Amino acid sequence: MADDSSDEVLESRLDDHIVLVTLNRPEKRNAVNAAVASALEAIVKRTEADPDVWVVVLTSSSDRVFCAGADLAQVSAGATGGMNTADGGFAGFVDAVRLKPWIAAVEGIAVAGGCEICVACDMIVASENARFGLPEVKRSLVAGAGGVNRLHRMLPRNVAFEMIATGDPIEAARAHHFGMVNRLTAPGRALHAAHELALAIAANAPVAVQQAIAAARATLSATEAEAKVIVGAAMAKVRGAEDYAEGPRAFLEKRPPRWTGR
């Protein structure tokens, strides 16, 4: 795979239309510092701007930890500003405006900001050795980078509230049972399964996928009337894409579609 990397976050291609992003501070358990946040924000912007990128997979260079959250050395020093970017929020990612779908491929622990990065992704693939948690209350903090307001949308209310109030993690198998994790794998197989999921997504019309995912995100808290407007706007954008006529044409010609992503 071709590699376009910084030291803290690696960027490479898994396939023609799938980018692999790897958190790479294993000695610090991939704790988010200013360099990580800056690199992730830049990657989001770069992949969003590239019409040949259709799916992004986010993983870790360590099989023991996905991300342990904020770099506590920076927190204790009061230097937390660099971990948040103007456009992406915490880690340059959790509040980023995206059209491209992101899949988290998780081995090991994903806690605090690491869990919040996962829930900010569109899908999660995890191995049986993965754990997800929001331990902020154990340190007199609040999981304010999306944890407390997103987790209960992915898990049953009481399960999410227990995690938030106790700070205790849940195993990947339980997260999978409740639907937070899309696919559960044997240890060491999360990236492989995430790649398979990315390929299934990349086989579809890219603009349609992006607009459908964006509409799904936007309708999470919308009324039925608002949702109809949002979905209608997404469909209008799809109709304006080059690929709009390709799907029916390929079906009639009994061949695989040739998407352009435009």
Of the residues 11, 136, 196, 253, only one is catalytic, namely 136
Residue 116 annotated as catalytic:
yes
Q: Which helix (H) or strand (E) holds 123?
A: strand 123-127
Of the residues 107, 116, 162, 246, only one is catalytic, namely 116
**How distant, in Å, are the alpha carbons of 131, 133, 164, 169, 211 from that of 161?**
17, 11, 5, 12, 31
**How distant, in Å, are the alpha carbons of 9, 93, 99, 188 from that of 42?**
10, 10, 15, 28
CA distance 189 to 1: 19
User: Quick one: how far is CA 240 from the chain centroid?
Assistant: 27
**How distant, in Å, are the alpha carbons of 168, 238, 249 from that of 63?**
21, 39, 44
Residue 246 annotated as catalytic:
no
CA distance 205 to 250: 12
Question: Which amino acids are annotated catalytic?
Answer: 116, 136
